[in-house]
Amino acid sequence: MTGELWLKWLKCFDGQLTRNSVLLCDNCPAHVDASNIKFNHLKIVFLPPNTTSVLQPLDAGIIKAFKANYRNLLVKHWIDTFDNNKTQVPINVKQAIDFIGDAWSLVNQLTIKRCWKHVGILPIEVLNQLNLESTPDTCWLGFNDLSKLLENLKHLDSEMNMSCDDYLDIDSTCGTFEIPKEDDIIHEVLENNNLVSSNFNQKEDDEDNNIEIPRVSKSEALDGLKKYISYLEHLDGIDYEDIK
């Protein structure tokens, strides 16, 4: 996540909302200040430092349930590959995106409600309306399924010997945000204090906009789209600049 992507996502998210909503955020460096953006329905509330694990519903089990669903799909894919005697290769970007979509759709509302209850930030009258006690939560079934799948995978490949908890936390030390460079920090400070224009490259951009772009036929566009999708599917990683 980068500050630029964060601001673009906030605008997109606000456009999808149909009523006033609050977005709870941690103090990730990528969550840059958005106070200069006018939102129609969205209000952003930052949690106090070092309280995310206590007050953030996502950290109370929602992310863990999502990751368990994703890992389930991934391990099933590996087992199917072994069963069909296919060569084991890393999944491509499109497969990962498909798994992500399916994994999130499997996170049920009850899991989300119970995580909100667990952090204790909702009024008691709201909690009483959730009716959480009478319905079993199926999110733990995902963890049980993952444990069984990992056991099956270990029988197929002895090197893949890992517990469910270890596997869910295997990426816990991976970077999730961009560390700003010194030049970027200086430029942002200067821009915020009106010491440098944010439209520094506006003249050059305007000149580029005057260049006549040839029309592309429908068949050419479809062919180009297919090639681009194929390109993305076989990337080891995607850089936002590549996509732009």
Which residue type occupies 161? N
What does the block give as tokens for 96?
């990962």
CB 55 within 8 A of CB 36: no
Q: What is the DSSP letter of 2?
A: -
DSSP letters for 86-129: -------HHHHHHHHHHHHHTS-HHHHHHHHHHHT-S-HHHHHT
The domain spans of the chain are 3-46, 57-168
> What is the reported pTM?
0.64
Question: In the structure, what pLDDT confidence band is assigned to residue 188 with cuts at 50, 70 and 90?
Answer: confident
CB burial class (10 A; 0-12, 13-18, 19+) of residue 64? buried
What does the block give as tokens for 101?
């979509």
DSSP letters for 28-50: -TTS---TTS--SSEEEEEPPTT
CA distances from 79 to 73, 92, 98, 143, 161 (A): 10, 17, 18, 17, 14
Q: Which residue has the higher pLDDT, 20 or 240?
A: 20
Question: pLDDT tens digits, residue range 50-73?
Answer: 887 888 888 888 988 898 889 889
Question: pLDDT tens digits, residue range 125-173?
Answer: 887 777 766 555 555 556 777 778 888 777 777 777 777 777 777 777 7
Query: What whole-number percentage of the chain has pLDDT above 90?
Result: 14
What is the average pLDDT value for the chain, to the nearest integer?
79
